[in-house]
């Protein structure tokens, strides 16, 4: 006599929740893998090719993707107007774009979070002044501010970072402030205060750790936007200086060869830019679902 | 969904509820009159506060632009007179332009002139900056309005579809699509469209504004990110509203699903959409700078980039202030509209 099969109890709600968790995990892993791949390629590929931003080889200029070059190598994505292989050119551009993005987020993140915690913790006039300032800045298209400042400061990688940091701190300040406001009346903060914690301890030991999740989410979402903004500035000619490759400037360089003779120059860096921005966007959404369900994405 | 199906269909109670409901979804004009009339004084205060804030922001923008443009390490007199000018000529020109006066005086005259719409003359073209802007602004306005309209027209049905078929195939397709579209670099998609439709297929002109056909690509490119955000907002706004009590009430009284969704759910879902339209308009104007540059479109964005290239700072100044003013005014209108759509906002202030 065989035992009756154990009845499998399926709770549809639990099942759905589990499937959602798996979905989030898959999104995080896949996007992180894509981002990691781009970062590694941006570092390694220009070195492998012995990339030289000023080298020119007019015989190999404007070769379509897949051509064999003079030195016997294959240009998988074609060559640019001065005969450079597009692959290392593009990856060197990605490297500049990623560095600008990371530096911008580091600067604007630290400043923004600091000011946001100050505003949220102390309230009063500090809060009023900082948030009015943020309102005024948000009442102004940030790309316009960036263009104007870049025009004044001149071209340069450092200037692009400064300009983008100035137009990005507001996002961090707002998120940090609203998180502090949500946390500051919770019991664990009350407990710390009762035990005699000073402002410094409350802000950086008690409140800051509670802000990490939303800040992480915002950082990820903003990364794609900052890379896009840098490319836009460089495309408009007010970003990185001539000679420094960037995804935006490479796309701009290809604009005048936009026909059968050179369609690949603008197209491939654009695809790479799209992939980077999209990966950070999806990662940001997934992290939000994972760490901050209250802010669940639309 | 089928909430409330079969509840008291056709009874007197239902008729009364339906009639009540008809009363709550009167025409917008009638609702407007009722609501604004009822709390007239609060509304006047609200409008005045918004106007004061708008003026304050514009003053801030004008001041920032004044400071930034004067930080430029270039002498405007030298730019106009050219390298060959004698020191005496330069000094005369500076006195003529008021550049020798104290900064505070310059700032005062600058603000007064700006209020009157006088932004000085272009250094490059010998005509007033305001006149140059007057030629470019209508083109950008047309571009922005068409892009906005296209985004609204396309995003609304898509968002509605996604919300009604939530977590089904349609929803997933719309959500994924909007994510991709949102990540598209505007200048790059412009180039790709140009490559396909003007260089390869030769259907559309690639630059300028000589025929209405030349508007198609810039409008599409400019509206894409806007369209994606609006689709997501429509979807999430509707999903949020559908969970609320008054929707259950509407269903419980046996209203057809069509009636539940259309006047009831949509009206409240409109609130975040209106806000996003306002907030994103700045992004749209910023996007116009890029779109116009890609398509050589004779608008204010391209004028701005060109003026920066030629160091025509009076025009740069005027462009930035005009764009900021447009943005501030639109935001103000949106805020007022918001107060109208959601009485809670108006009364709480």
| Cβ of residue A133 closer than 8 Å to a chain B Cβ | no
Which of these, A244, A266, A227, A166, lies nearest to A39 by C-alpha position?
A227
Q: Is there a domain that residue A182 lies in?
A: yes
CB < 8 Å & 24+ apart, contacts of B36-41: B36/B340, B39/B343, B39/B346, B39/B347
Q: Which of residues 138-167 of A touch B (CB under 8 A)?
A: 139-144, 147-149, 151-152
Give the pLDDT score at B17: 41
d(CA B77, CA A230): 33
Distance CA B127, CA A269 (A): 40
Q: Quick count: other Cβ atoms within 10 Å of Cβ B203?
A: 11
Q: Is residue A57 part of a domain?
A: no
| A248 close to A263: Cβ distance less than 8 angstroms | no
**Which stretch of A225-239, B46-60, B148-162 has the lowest confidence by average pLDDT?**
B46-60
- Look at residue A229 and tell me if it is in a domain: yes
* Within a domain: A254: yes
User: Burial of B27 by CB count in 10 Å (0-12 exposed, 13-18 middle, 19+ buried)?
Assistant: exposed
Whole-Å CA distances, A171 to A148, A210, A229, B180: 20, 17, 15, 22
Number of domains, chain A? 1
When pLDDT is cut at 50, 70 and 90, the band that residue B12 belongs to is very low
- The answer to ipTM > 0.90 is no
CA distance A182 to B40: 35
pLDDT at A32: 92
pLDDT: is B229 or B46 the higher one? B229
pLDDT in tens, A104-137: 999 999 999 999 999 999 988 888 888 878 877 7
Q: How far is CA B33 from CA B27, B28, B48, in A?
A: 10, 9, 19
Cβ pair B180:A147 closer than 8 A: no
Q: Residue B308 is nearest to which of A151, A263, A274, comparing CB atoms? A: A151
Residue A136, min C-alpha distance to chain B (Å): 6
Does a structural domain hold residue A5? no
* Beta-bridge mates of residue B121: B128
Q: Which of A54-68, B84-98, B165-179 shows the lowest mean pLDDT across its residues?
A: A54-68
Note the pLDDT tens digit of each residue in A212-238: 888 988 899 889 889 988 888 888 888
pLDDT for the residue numbered A109: 94
- Which range among B79-83, B133-137, B204-208 shows the weakest confidence by mean pLDDT? B79-83
pLDDT at B4: 39
Contact criterion met (CB < 8 Å) for A152 and B71: yes
Q: Is residue A196 very low, low, confident or very high in pLDDT (cuts 50, 70, 90)? A: confident
pLDDT tens per residue, range A13-48: 777 777 777 878 888 999 999 999 999 988 888 888
Nearest chain A residue to B180 by CA: give it. Answer: A278
d(Cα A254, Cα A267) in Å, to the nearest integer? 8
Does some domain include residue A262? yes
Contacts of A152 in chain B (CB under 8 A): 68-69, 71-72
Please give the average per-residue pLDDT across B242-255, as a whole number: 79
Residue A31 lies in a domain: no
Segments forming the whole domain that contains residue A213: 79-297
pLDDT 10s digits, B202-218? 788 777 777 788 888 89
Q: Would you say residue A48 lies in a domain?
A: no
Question: Quick check: B24 pLDDT over 50?
Answer: no
The winner for highest mean pLDDT among B139-143, B243-247, B269-273 is: B139-143
Instruction: Please tell me the predicted confidence (pLDDT) of residue B5.
Output: 38
| CATH number of the domain bearing residue A291 | 1.10.3720.10
- Within 8 A of A238 by CB-CB distance, chain B residues are 305, 308
């Amino acid at each position: 006599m065989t035992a009756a099969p154990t009845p499998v109890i399926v709770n549809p709600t639990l099942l759905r929740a589990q499937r959602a968790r798996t979905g989030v995990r898959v999104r995080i892993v896949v996007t992180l893998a894509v981002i990691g791949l781009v970062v590694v390629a941006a570092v390694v590929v220009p070195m492998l090719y012995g990339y030289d931003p000023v080298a020119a080889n007019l015989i190999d200029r404007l070769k379509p993707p897949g051509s064999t070059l003079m030195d016997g190598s294959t240009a998988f994505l074609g060559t640019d107007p001065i005969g450079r292989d597009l692959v290392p050119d593009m990856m060197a551009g990605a490297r500049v774009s990623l560095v600008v993005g990371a530096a911008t987020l580091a600067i604007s993140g630290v400043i923004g979070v600091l000011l946001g915690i100050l505003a949220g913790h102390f309230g009063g006039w500090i809060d009023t002044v900082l948030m009015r300032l943020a309102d005024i800045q948000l009442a102004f298209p940030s790309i316009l501010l960036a263009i104007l400042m870049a025009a004044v400061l001149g071209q340069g990688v450092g200037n692009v970072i400064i300009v983008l940091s100035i137009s990005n701190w507001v996002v961090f300040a707002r998120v940090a402030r609203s998180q502090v406001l949500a946390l500051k009346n919770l019991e664990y903060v009350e407990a710390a205060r009762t035990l005699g914690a000073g402002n410094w301890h409350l802000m950086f030991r008690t409140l800051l750790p509670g802000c990490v999740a939303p800040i992480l989410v915002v950082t990820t979402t903003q990364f794609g936007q900052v890379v896009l903004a840098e490319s836009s500035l460089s495309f408009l000619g007010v970003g990185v200086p001539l000679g420094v490759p960037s995804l935006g400037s490479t796309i701009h360089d290809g604009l005048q060869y936009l026909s059968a003779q050179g369609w690949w120059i603008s197209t491939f860096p654009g695809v790479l830019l799209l992939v980077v921005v999209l990966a950070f966007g999806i990662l940001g959404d997934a992290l939000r679902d994972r760490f901050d369900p209250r802010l669940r994405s639309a | 969904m089928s909430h409330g199906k079969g509840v008291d269909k056709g009874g007197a109670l239902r008729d009364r509820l339906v009639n009540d409901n008809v009363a709550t979804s009167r025409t917008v004009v009638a609702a407007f009159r009722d609501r604004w009339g009822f709390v007239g004084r609060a509304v006047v205060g609200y409008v005045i506060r918004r106007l004061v804030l708008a003026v304050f922001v514009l003053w801030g923008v004008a001041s920032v632009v004044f400071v930034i443009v004067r930080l430029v390490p270039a002498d405007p007199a030298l730019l106009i007179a050219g390298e060959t000018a004698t020191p005496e000529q330069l000094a005369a020109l500076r006195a003529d332009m008021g550049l020798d006066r104290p900064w505070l005086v310059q700032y005062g005259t600058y603000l007064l002139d700006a209020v009157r719409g006088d932004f000085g003359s272009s250094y490059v073209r010998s005509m007033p900056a305001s006149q140059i802007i007057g030629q470019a602004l209508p083109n950008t306005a047309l571009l922005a309005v068409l892009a906005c309209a296209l985004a609204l027209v396309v995003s609304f049905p898509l968002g509605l579809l996604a919300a009604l078929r939530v977590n089904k195939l349609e929803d997933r397709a719309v959500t994924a699509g909007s994510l991709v579209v949102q990540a598209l670099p505007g200048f790059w998609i412009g180039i790709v469209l140009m490559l396909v439709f003007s260089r390869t297929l030769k259907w559309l002109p690639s630059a300028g504004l000589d025929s209405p056909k030349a508007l198609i690509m810039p409008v599409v490119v400019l509206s894409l990110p806007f369209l994606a955000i609006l689709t997501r907002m429509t979807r999430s706004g509707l999903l949020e509203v559908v969970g609320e009590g008054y929707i259950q009430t509407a269903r419980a009284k046996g209203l057809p699903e069509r009636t539940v969704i259309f006047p009831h759910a949509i009206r409240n879902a409109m609130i975040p959409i209106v806000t996003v339209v306002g907030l994103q308009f700045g992004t749209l104007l910023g996007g116009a700078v890029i779109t116009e540059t890609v398509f050589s479109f004779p608008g204010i964005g391209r004028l701005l980039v060109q003026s920066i290239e030629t160091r025509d700072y009076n025009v740069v100044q005027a462009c930035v202030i005009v764009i900021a003013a447009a943005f501030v005014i639109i935001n103000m209108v949106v805020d007022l509209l918001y107060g109208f759509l959601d009485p809670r906002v108006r009364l709480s202030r």
